[in-house]
Structure 1
Amino acid sequence: MKRIAVFFFALVLCGAAAAALAAGDAAKGEQLAKGCACHKSKGDLNGKDVATLTAAMQAFKEGKGANKAMIFIMKKQSDENIADLAAYYASLPKK
């Protein structure tokens, strides 16, 4: 019984750590977004939820979509950068 409790605790701890890492860092995302003049001026990504932003960026990273410029840009981004960018844009007030 003790082993099951320890295993369960370890699973919960790992899950919490993974969720924290997946959340992204908005401050790092802000630094990464400095080169995103198009979206910064439009404000079209501001306030969207993280899951939507992440899914869109991951799709571009995988080469999906019609915007060749975004595909080119996102293919260079790590999953951590994508999470940070999503956290940043989600934290901005909607325009």
Structure 2
Amino acid sequence: MKRIGTVFFALVFCAVAVAAGAAGDAAKGEALAKGCACHKSKGDLNGVDAATLTAKMQAFKDGKGENKAMVAIMQKQSPENIADLAAYYASLPKK
């Protein structure tokens, strides 16, 4: 019984570590966002939940969406870049 508890704790710990790692790095996202002139000037992504931003960027990466420029830009991004960009924009105060 003690072994089951240890295994369960290890699984929970690993799941938390994976979730934390998927959160993204806002500092890296800031560097990536230097080329995002439209969104930086509008501030339309500032303060939006990172999960929402990630889903939107992933949809563009998958070729979904009306904005062909965003589809082309996101198709070049790695999952890590998407997480970093989402973390950056989520960290900004809403305009």
* Structure 1 letter corresponding to 2:66: A
Unaligned runs of 5+ in 2: none
Task: Report the aligned-residue RMSD.
Answer: 0.8
Q: Give per-residue Cα distances to partners, 1:36-94, cap 9 Å, x unaligned.
A: 11111111100111111111000000000010000000011111111110010011111
Separation (CA, whole Å) in 2 of partners of 1:47 and 1:88: 9
- State, as a whole percentage, how many aligned pairs show the same letter: 81
**Within 5 A, what are the aligned runs for 1:65-80?**
65-80=65-80
Which residue of 2 is the match for residue 58 of structure 1? Answer: 58
SS of 1:63's equivalent in the other structure is coil
> Alpha-carbon deviation of 1:2?
2.4
> Alpha-carbon deviation of 1:12?
1.1
SS of 1:82's equivalent in the other structure is helix
**Within 5 A, what are the aligned runs for 1:1-95?**
1-95=1-95
Separation (CA, whole Å) in 1 of partners of 2:88 and 2:68: 23
Number of residue pairs the alignment of both structures matches: 95
Normalising by structure 1, we get a TM-score of 0.96
